Amino acid sequence: MKQGKTEKAVFAKLSTQKVELGQHEVKLATDLSRAFSQLESVDKNLRNAEQVMDKAYVKYKATLKEAEDTVDRVDSIVSEVAMDARKLGVDESAVPNLKESIALGQKLLTIIRGMEKLYN
């Protein structure tokens, strides 16, 4: 079967378009590969950040618990000293560090409660 001028022109045009499409496919595959690589990098960074945050949160919770336990323990001592001073008829202001201990204990409890609300 003999091809006419029109058929030859159509086939010639199709062959060049096919080459152009092939080049686009290669470019798209390269772009997709780069994009996927970027997503993998973001995924890795997020997982690393999550691990860091998990460790920091565990340390935060332990530190907060330790602080609260210490403040509670010291508050018991301060209360006992204040009560003993009253029993002995000694003015609390005459007991060294008593007033300061009470104020600092209250301040620390306020900070601890604020942190609990903020991060829990």
Residue 16: per-residue pLDDT: 62
Report pLDDT digits (tens) over 68-104.
999 999 999 999 999 999 999 998 888 999 999 999 9
Backbone angles phi, psi at 34, to 5 degrees: -65, -45
Q: Is the pLDDT of residue 65 over 60?
A: yes
Burial grade of 98 (CB within 10 A; 0-12, 13-18, 19 or more):
middle
Greatest alpha-carbon pair distance for the chain in Å reads 126
Residue 118: per-residue pLDDT: 84
**Which residue range is the domain that position 64 belongs to?**
5-119
Sequence-distant (6+) residues with CB within 8 A of 115 are 64
Report pLDDT digits (tens) over 12-21.
666 665 555 5
How many structural domains are present in the chain? Answer: 1
